[in-house]
Amino acid sequence: MTTPVNDDHAEGRLAAAAHKVGDAAASAGHAVTESASAAADAVSDAAHAAKVKAADTAAVIRDKAADAYDAARDKASTARETAATGFDSAPLAVLAGGIALGAILGALLPRTERETELLGPVAAKATDAARSAFVAAKSAGQDKLDELGINKDAARAKVDQLVDTASQAATSAGAAAKDAVRNRTDV
């Protein structure tokens, strides 16, 4: 037969054990929250680094395009000046310039079937060269991102690390709760 004192004592021990289990669960929750926060910060930092790198790369490309445009404009200006001063002294140069201008204008006009037939292989080679240049640029960009650790594998590794950390925290919390209950009931 149990006495009210023993029942009160047992209820107190159970309440204390429940409190410890709650504390362990809260601690585990805190550890999981900290791990998730750290992973989110790492992903955010990686995304920010990728954004900065992309902006820097875009600026470099923009600068190179502007430089190429300026160089072409300077060459055109020089050619115009040379043509103006050389017209009287070198009529053959003017003729060559006219032929070059005609070739440029011809390239800008729509092609006829005959031109397509004759120039098809040349156009295919130019297209292949442009495609190869694009693939090389894309590969170089991807290699640089990989070098910086900004890729799917790095993100996957961070998520795996987060899951492992959360699992370890939950396992530790469960073991602590189990030990706390066992130690309280043995008393």
Q: Read off the pLDDT of residues 119-165 as tens digits, 9 standing for 90 and up.
A: 777 777 877 877 787 788 778 777 777 777 777 777 778 778 888 88
Domain boundaries, the chain: 4-59+112-186
Say if pTM beats, i.e. exceeds, 0.75. no
In order of 49, 54, 72, 132, 152, the CA distances from 159 in angstroms are: 18, 24, 50, 35, 11
Provide the pLDDT for residue 64: 81
Provide the pLDDT for residue 175: 79
Provide the pLDDT for residue 133: 78
- The DSSP symbol for 151 reads S
Residues in the chain where the model's pLDDT stays below 50? 1
Q: Is there a contact between 174 and 29 (Cβ–Cβ < 8 Å)?
A: no
CA–CA separation, 69 and 76 (whole Å): 10
Give the tokens for residue 18: 């429940």
For 46, counting Cβ atoms within 10 Å of its Cβ (0-12 exposed, 13-18 middle, 19+ buried), the class is: middle
Provide the pLDDT for residue 22: 67
Tokens 């650790």, located at residue: 149
Rg of the chain over CA atoms, in angstroms?
A: 37
Provide the pLDDT for residue 28: 65
Give the tokens for residue 66: 């502007």
